[in-house]
A and B are shown apart, each in its own frame.
Chain A
Amino acid sequence: MSAAVSTAPRRAWSFRQPSVIPGFGLTLGFTLTYFSLIILIPLIALAVRSAGLGPEGFWKAATDARVLGSLRVSFVTALIAAGVNVVFGTLIAWCLVRYRFPGRRIFDAIIDLPFALPTAVAGIALTAIYAPNGTVGALFAPLGWRIAYTPAGIVIAMIFIGLPFVVRTIQPILEEVSHEVEEASATLGANRFQTIFHVILPSLMPAILTGFALAFARAVGEYGSIIFIAGNIPFVSEIAPLLIYIRLQEFNYVGATVIATVMLLISFAILFLINLIQAWSRRRYGYGN
């Protein structure tokens, strides 16, 4: 057996339960080695670079006006996009689970398109549509509204990449919600509206919150689909990942590292929040994935 097993203290508690199946040391050893080489060591390198700045240096770089501006753009647009996705994602999940209509399976499959379509392709396609001479952009141009090359374009791209996270989180839960509670609610005199808003939606709340957090986290980090449509004007439509990229092009590794560290800390906080929601939902409703 390899190092993974032998490092465990012997009698006090056992690192693993006995099993007749072979290969534990080999597979866990490989898993941990591969994980360390690909993910852990590079992330530690980032943390070390950041720490090397000292608290004051880090604070000074992190509160640079352009950095704060890009973080604000990223977080505000991601919040709006995740909000839109929650409303329409819940509605889409509802229709796909509860109603039967022609083409339902095809639309169900298309939900995953943003997972499969490379972000750069989505980016140039969305730009072509929402540019002032594009299919949708041309409808708004006479009104003086510009979508592409403004923060509105960023929101559109973020809606595109975030939608499947919301739908795919809510769908399986909605399938599990028992019909009996709705019947009970109706029997007790609730109208349909009351049943939906007081019975069904509250039990979907953990899934909706998780979907929101996932869509938000993805939108904040997104780069490829946004940079084409954003216009990339500092303080207006420059997102934080783009500023990291720009700093790297300038060989300003310190600047890039600081923005990356701030973003990582925030995404880990979101990840922690998602785990909390799911733990809470397992206790409260007995499900969570």
Chain B
Amino acid sequence: MATKLRARLKRRRSPTSESRPVQLLLIGISLLFMAIILVLPLYAVFHEALSKGIGTFFAALGEHDAQAAIRLTLLVAAIAVPLNVVFGLAASWAIAKFEFKGKAFLITLIDLPFSVSPVISGLVYVLLFGAGSFLGPFLKSYGIEVLFALPGIVLATIFVTFPFVARELIPLMQDQGTGDEEAALSLGANGLQTFWRVTLPNIKWGLLYGVLLCNARAMGEFGAVAVVSGKIRGQTTTMPLQVEMLYNEYNATAAFALASLLALLALVTLVLKSALEWRFGEEIAAGNH
């Protein structure tokens, strides 16, 4: 309604809007800024990746180390994302369906990893499991390596992606209240049935939205993983780390080829995310402030 009203007012050069030339100027400045800051880097990734031809591009992707990096990145995301989904579901159930003391504080705590520098997220695990710690040598005596191995990379990835699913689901489930669950329970459903058949269908699009963002970050994380990985070629280098190694070896084309896969992932994420927002805007709206 407001837009219709505004459209009508605009025709008369409304006193509550700008004249069209001013609008065009402001839009022009905005779009130019976005084009230079956001679009140009995205274009540059694909341009550089394909600058030596499509053959070089695929050769770079087919290389043994690149393949190992892709497999490791997929594996890390396949472990970290489901764990954070389980956490997100548990946390949002406890927070949204019950009233208890200290709830607001708990919500603030869940967002904590967002205000920690990625490098520090990696550093804390180095301190916990590295040389000079208590846990590191203890686990090592049982043959379990955490640092410079898969467990460390997974832990650091979980740390940085920790809030994504929970912060999407908490406001959404708070908005939906407890009426549906109470109805299901009073009709004889048990707790698990209530969750699977009532709650989960209610939050599925919001959950997918959270998973999408969580996965993008998990696959793209650099700083935290760089600290704990040790960067052993072909073993503990994820895709972003492999991009860095290739780039530092002045193998820019190969670096950009691998980077273009990650940029493609980012584009797919953005498209799916926007599609979810447009199609199911209301069902994920609460989490989308």
Contact = CB atoms under 8 A, between A and B. Distances in A.
- The answer to whether A and B assemble together is yes
B27 A253 contact: no
B91 A245 contact: no
Contact of B34 (A13, A34, A92): A92
Interface stretch (B59-67, B113-121, B137-145, B200-208): B113-121
A21 B181 contact: yes
14 contacts: A27-B90, A30-B87, A91-B26, A101-B27, A120-B222, A125-B263, A129-B44, A135-B40, A160-B41, A186-B15, A192-B15, A224-B223, A244-B117, A275-B108
Instruction: Name the 5 nearest CB pairs between A and B, nearest first.
Output: A118-B220, A221-B117, A16-B100, A224-B222, A42-B124
Interface string B151-166: 0000100110010000
Nearest to A191: B15
Interface in B235-289: 239-241, 243-244, 247, 252, 255-256, 259, 262-263, 265-267, 269-271, 273-274, 278, 289
B42 A113 contact: yes
A267 B117 contact: yes
A197 interface: no
Nearest to A189: B15
A224 B240 contact: yes
A111 B38 contact: yes
Contact of B270 (A19, A24, A112, A220): A112
Contact of B26 (A15, A94, A192): A94
A146 to B, nearest CB: 17
A264 B116 contact: yes
B155 A257 contact: no
B16 A38 contact: no
B114 to A, nearest CB: 8
Contacts of A126: 41, 44
**Chain B contact residues (Cβ within 8 angstroms of A): what range?**
35 or more
B118 A24 contact: no
Interface in B92-112: 93-95, 97-101, 106, 108-110, 112
User: Main secondary structure on chain B at its contact with chain A?
Assistant: helix
A136 B276 CA distance: 35
Contact of B274 (A105, A222, A271): A105
Nearest to B97: A21
Contacts of B252: 124, 128
Contacts of B118: 119, 221-224, 241
Given A15-B101, A112-B273, A241-B119, A38 B90 contact: no
Contacts, number: 299
A16 B106 CA distance: 14
B94 to A, nearest CB: 4
B38 A160 contact: yes
A51 to B, nearest CB: 12
A145 interface: no
A22 B178 CA distance: 11
Interface residues of A, number: 97
Interface of A: 8, 13, 15-17, 19-24, 26-28, 30-31, 34-35, 38-39, 41-43, 45-46, 49, 88, 91-92, 94-96, 98-101, 105, 107-122, 124-126, 128-129, 134-136, 156, 159-160, 163, 172, 179, 182-183, 186, 192, 195, 217, 220-224, 228, 241-242, 244-245, 248, 251, 253, 256-257, 260, 263-264, 267-268, 270-271, 275, 289
Given A121-B45, A129-B44, A195-B16, A95 B120 contact: no
A244 B224 CA distance: 11
A39 B162 contact: yes
Contact of B42 (A95, A117, A248): A117
A57 B115 CA distance: 26
Contacts of B91: 27, 31
Contact of A263 (B2, B117, B191, B222): B117
Q: Which of B29, B126, B216 counts the most chain A CB atoms within 10 A?
A: B126
Nearest to A227: B244
Interface string B25-48: 011011101101111111011001
Interface string B116-139: 111110011111101111000000
